[in-house]
Amino acid sequence: MPASRSSCASSVAGSRVSTRTIWSQARRCSGVSQRGVFEAGVTPPIYLTLEPIAPSLRTESSNLNYLEAVMRVAIIGAGNVGAGLAEAATTAGHEVTVVAAHQENAVEVAGNVGAKAAATAAEAAQGADVVVLAVPAGAAAGVLREVKGAGAVVVDATNPLNDTFSDLTTGGTSHAEQLAAGAPGVKLVKAFNTVFASRLGAPSEDGRPLDGFYAGDDDAAKQVAADLLASLGFRPVDAGSLRMARSLEELAFLNISLNARNGWTWQSGWRLAGPTA
Ligand SMILES: NC(=O)c1ccc[n+]([C@@H]2O[C@H](COP(=O)([O-])OP(=O)(O)OC[C@H]3O[C@@H](n4cnc5c(N)ncnc54)[C@H](OP(=O)(O)O)[C@@H]3O)[C@@H](O)[C@H]2O)c1
């Protein structure tokens, strides 16, 4: 039986411990790790066949000073990204609500990590500081229509891959820009799309955080995305205006293509080297 969400969160927030310790605690609290991606009878595309990174590969991260900044995070989608983000965000001490197309999937993920499950995207977004779109790109515009009334910052984590994962579908623009154009007034930030789901709970390599790129046109909204990235242990990197979402979507596509082409393990992440500060 999982421990209560509040008891797990308070015991994490009350101590300065390593990421690995927090992961152990999260597993003890939740009882189960990231939702399996190999559902019975389903052969997912290779991009989706992501395994959580081995605990032995996880390294220290610099996120612990963010534990006091609790955010209300609504995650739309309970698949690889939704489940991984829900686990990482609850581990960081955030209040997380998850929703899926099929409510039982949201209930399962939420139960595993100590989050709440909502019945609809609109319900999940109500009262949230940030709503993360972790759904297939084709579903994102509809979800955005459901959540935009809540007024939260919307983080678009989607990648607009075609059916064969051989190209993006956007041709000269970005999915984030298309979403923003269809939802005037929504504070939309592109973020998390360059991070493989396997890395959401393992945001560092060789003791240094991976880069979490984000782009958008609203500075306050971008700060929310940056804070969320940092709280999970990533180094937030401001890529510029929403125009730069085109680059971030291509960056994600590059990592996907490299893994597919080279038979890598879908655990590579981005980090700029050299003087970047
Ligand atoms: N996988 C990665 O490593 C990764 C990394 C970065 C970005 N991305 C991008 O993130 C997005 C999600 O990827 P994923 O791998 O997590 O996909 P996934 O495993 O297929 O999960 C998609 C989730 O979206 C839910 N969903 C679909 N339509 C919905 C709707 N209308 N309302 C609410 N929930 C809905 C599904 O619900 P059910 O569970 O009920 O079917 C499922 O939980 C994609 O755009 C992908 O390109 C993926």
**pLDDT in the model for residue 253:** 98
Mean pLDDT of 199-218: 97
Please give the number of the atom of ligand 1 that sits closest to the Cα of 84. Answer: 16
Residue 232 sits in a domain of what CATH number? Answer: 3.40.50.720
Q: Confirm whether 40 is domain-assigned.
A: yes
Q: Provide the token pair at 32.
A: 């189960």
Distance CA 64, CA 96 (A): 18
Q: What percent of the chain has pLDDT over 70?
A: 75
User: Ligand 1 test: best mutation among 53, 80, 264, most atoms within 8 Å of CB?
Assistant: 80
How much is the pLDDT for 196? 98
Distance of alpha carbon 146 from alpha carbon 27, whole angstroms: 32
Residue 258, domain member (yes or no): yes
Cα separation, 86 vs 78, whole angstroms = 8
The predicted pLDDT at position 69 comes to 86
Residue 273 domain-assigned (yes or no)? no
Q: What range does the domain containing 146 cover?
A: 5-262
Assess whether pLDDT exceeds 60 at residue 220: yes
More confident residue, 182 or 58: 182
Write the residue with the smallest CA distance to atom 19 of ligand 1. Answer: 79
Q: Please answer whether residues 183 and 243 qualify as being in contact, where contact means their C-beta atoms are separated by less than 8 angstroms.
A: no
Q: Is the per-residue pLDDT at 231 higher than 60?
A: yes
The answer to whether 266 touches 51, Cβ cutoff 8 Å, is: yes
Exposure letters 90-116 (e unless 16+ CB within 10 A, then b):
bbbbbbbbbbbeeeebbbbbbbbbbbb
pLDDT at 22: 28
For ligand 1, the distance from its centroid to the CA atom of residue 228, given in whole angstroms, is 19
In a domain, 275, yes or no: no
User: What is the best residue among 35, 43, 48, 81 to mutate for testing ligand 1's pocket, by most ligand atoms within 8 Å of CB?
Assistant: 81
Which residue's alpha carbon is at the smallest distance from atom 15 of ligand 1?
80
| Alpha-helix residue ranges (DSSP H) falling in the chain | 5-13, 19-30, 80-91, 103-113, 121-125, 137-147, 175-181, 219-232, 245-262
Distance 80 CA to ligand 1 centre (A): 7
Parallel, antiparallel, or unpaired: how do β-strands 211-216 and 235-240 relate? Answer: parallel
25 located within any domain:
yes
Q: How many domains does the chain have?
A: 1
Q: Kindly state whether residue 36 falls inside one of the protein's structural domains.
A: yes
Give mean pLDDT, residues 217-224.
98
Query: pLDDT per residue over 56-103, tens digit each?
Result: 433 334 344 444 589 999 999 999 999 999 999 999 999 999 999 999
Query: How far, in Å, from the CA of 135 to the mean position of ligand 1?
Result: 3
Q: What is the mean pLDDT of residues 158-181?
A: 96
- pLDDT score recorded for residue 68: 53
Ligand 1 neighbours by CB, cut-off 6 Å: 48, 50, 76-82, 99-102, 105, 121, 134-137, 139, 142-143, 157-159, 161, 193, 195-197
Measure 199 CA to ligand 1 centroid, in angstroms.
16
Q: Using alpha carbons, list the distances in angstroms from residue 150 to 134, 147, 186.
A: 17, 6, 10
Residue 142 confidence (pLDDT) above 70:
yes
User: Once rounded to an integer, what is the mean pLDDT over residues 166-194?
Assistant: 97
Ligand 1 atom nearest 192 alpha carbon: 6
User: CA 251 to CA 261: how far, in whole Å?
Assistant: 15
Q: Is the pLDDT of residue 237 over 50?
A: yes
Q: Worst-scoring range by mean pLDDT, 16-20, 76-80, 121-125?
A: 16-20
Q: 62 exposed, middle or buried (CB, 10 Å; 0-12, 13-18, 19+)?
A: middle
- For residue 134, the CA-to-ligand 1 centroid distance in Å is 5
pLDDT, mean of residues 20-34? 29
From the CA of 159, give the closest atom in ligand 1: 47
Q: What does the pLDDT read at residue 277?
A: 85
- For residues 49 and 252, give the distance between their C-alpha atoms in angstroms, rounded to a whole number: 16
Cα of 177 vs centre of ligand 1, distance in Å, is: 19
Say whether pLDDT at 23 is over 90. Answer: no
Distance 86 CA to ligand 1 centre (A): 13
Average pLDDT, the chain: 82
Give a yes or no: residue 272 inside a domain.
no
**pLDDT confidence of residue 10:** 30
- Asked if 80 and 61 touch (Cβ cutoff 8 Å), the reply is no
The percent of residues in the chain predicted with pLDDT above 90, rounded, is 74
